[in-house]
Amino acid sequence: MFVSTYKVPVSVLVVIYTADLKVLLLDRADHPGYWQSVTGSQDAGETLEQTAAREVQEETGIDVSQYQLTDWNITNTYEIYPEWRHRYAPGVVSNTEHVFGLLVPQSVTVTLSPREHLHAVWLPRQEAEQKVFSPSNAAAIKLLASRNATSA
């Protein structure tokens, strides 16, 4: 049986945050200085929720089942950065990203996967929005203020 080594061009973005709008950001090991929320590609046979839970566990050690994971019903399609296109099948240049939020009660301690991330930091929403490299990540973080107001 052939198993593709290419990534599926469908991914999740999981914004991990607290009620007082502190946001967890991770510094990419393969591109230091590129700060982001948890992200990752869907594996064959996974639901998007399963992908989100797996990626959060792999990248931070956080068990999603202990907290409130929410599908924000936001989908972004963007061009894959040229430095990461080799991870996808030839000719694949765009990715569809599905946005989730994970509400935790406080700035919890994380256990990083050293092959994926170098550092983690909890920042106030506005600082986090400015620090991330991805426009879709910044837009998702910006939404926290309005999402928090409507869910309170």
Two structure tokens written together for 39: 């992200």
**Residue numbering of the annotated binding site for Mg(2+):** 55, 59, 116
**What distance in Å separates the CA atoms of residue 67 and residue 56, rounded to the nearest whole number?**
12
Q: How far is CA 141 from CA 77, 85, 86, 89, in A?
A: 17, 25, 28, 30
**Residue numbering of the annotated binding site:** 7, 28, 39, 55, 59, 116, 134
**What distance in Å separates the CA atoms of residue 21 and residue 133, rounded to the nearest whole number?**
19
**Residue numbering of the annotated binding site for substrate:** 7, 28, 39, 134
Per the CB < 8 A criterion, the answer to whether 77 and 94 are in contact is yes
**What distance in Å separates the CA atoms of residue 83 and residue 146, rounded to the nearest whole number?**
34
Strands 10-18, 68-79: pairing kind = unpaired
**Residue found under tokens 């990626």:** 55
